[in-house]
Structure 1
């Protein structure tokens, strides 16, 4: 018979290779379980309007006061005058080391006529947005362009116990030794 034989003294404990494999598996399971723990929570920003709330607004009938009572104060109103109200909301996540990510954005536009009566209600989607090109130019600031070393060591010796602070002749305390 070709059966492997074991010494009588050998215990059934794990061998070092089996122990390392078990520790690696346990560590991997902990890492997988931790992925959901450290996921950034979803944050609701703004007043999220439902379809039922929007159906309650009837163009040509309701006024600004009615809309404010139904939907609350607008997030933004138009820049010139007050004929358009915007209700903006979004769901965001802030992950460590990354930019803020917007997962779902809703913009509801309520337009009014000069009398303050609702003329139109519409919801804007992603297709209504326009891409904005960011300009990389910087506005120059007047003054000295100092290096880091000049900024760190520029005042060494200027202010101290023996340094004198110049005063103008008409300033209070000038020439009195105070």
Structure 2
């Protein structure tokens, strides 16, 4: 009877260790959710009105933009994105909001546009090489291909001209 209780105790310990290992292994496969950029507050965004607000009131209401237009400061962008990934896989966008506030020359709001996830471009490269234009040269062609080309006639080197005199016409 004593041996039976030892075996059942060791069986319970082994079962407990197996369950702990299973839980630790499953926790590594959890979903990871991240937020990037501006925290969108729908009430604040809806309060920005064209013709009423200006740069100062928009900055007071929404804060500094995520980025300003490249040429001039007539366009402000507030970008917000939620991403999701599983363990070590590539993250995928779940939702995205781009708030585009346009100003006129006087600094008054002209329009407020909202764009969503439909603006995300999915790029899938083809193959492991980038196609390029031009000649296909091997490593040895690149290293030894210019031997003899230095100073060749017509290449701006010293060896191709028939100008032997001191003047511009050879005199």
Q: TM-score, normalised by structure 2?
A: 0.58
Distance 2:16 2:115 in 1: 49
The alignment status of 1:23 with 2:11, answered yes or no, reads no
Following TM superposition, by how much is the alpha carbon of 1:50 offset from its aligned partner in structure 2, in angstroms?
A: 0.9
Partner of 2:95: 104
**Unpaired runs of 5+ in structure 1?**
1-9, 147-178
Partner deviation per Cα, 1:84-109 (whole Å, 9 max, x = no partner): 21111223457664334434322111
The alignment status of 1:89 with 2:89, answered yes or no, reads no
Aligned positions, number:
136
Partner deviation per Cα, 1:7-26 (whole Å, 9 max, x = no partner): xxx3241547x955862464
**Unpaired runs of 5+ in structure 2?**
141-171
Instruction: Work out whether residues 88 and 105 of structure 1, in 8 Å CA contact, stay in contact via their aligned partners in 2.
Output: yes
1:79–1:40: structure 2 CA closer, same or farther, 3 Å change rule?
same
1:20–1:32: structure 2 CA closer, same or farther, 3 Å change rule?
same
In angstroms, what is the RMSD of aligned CA positions?
Answer: 3.6
The alignment status of 1:61 with 2:52, answered yes or no, reads yes
**Match of residue 13, structure 1, among 5, 8, 31:** 5
Partner of 1:72: 63
Following TM superposition, by how much is the alpha carbon of 1:36 offset from its aligned partner in structure 2, in angstroms?
A: 3.5
**Match of residue 47, structure 1, among 38, 45, 48:** 38
Following TM superposition, by how much is the alpha carbon of 1:56 offset from its aligned partner in structure 2, in angstroms?
A: 1.6
3-state DSSP of counterpart to 1:52:
helix
Partner deviation per Cα, 1:55-108 (whole Å, 9 max, x = no partner): 221111111111111111111222232222111122345766433443432211
Distance 2:124 2:74 in 1: 28
Instruction: Work out whether residues 60 and 119 of structure 1, in 8 Å CA contact, stay in contact via their aligned partners in 2.
Output: yes
The alignment status of 1:117 with 2:112, answered yes or no, reads no
1:115–1:133: structure 2 CA closer, same or farther, 3 Å change rule?
farther
1:125–1:55: structure 2 CA closer, same or farther, 3 Å change rule?
same
1:131–1:99: structure 2 CA closer, same or farther, 3 Å change rule?
closer
Q: TM-score, normalised by structure 1?
A: 0.56
Distance 2:114 2:20 in 1: 45
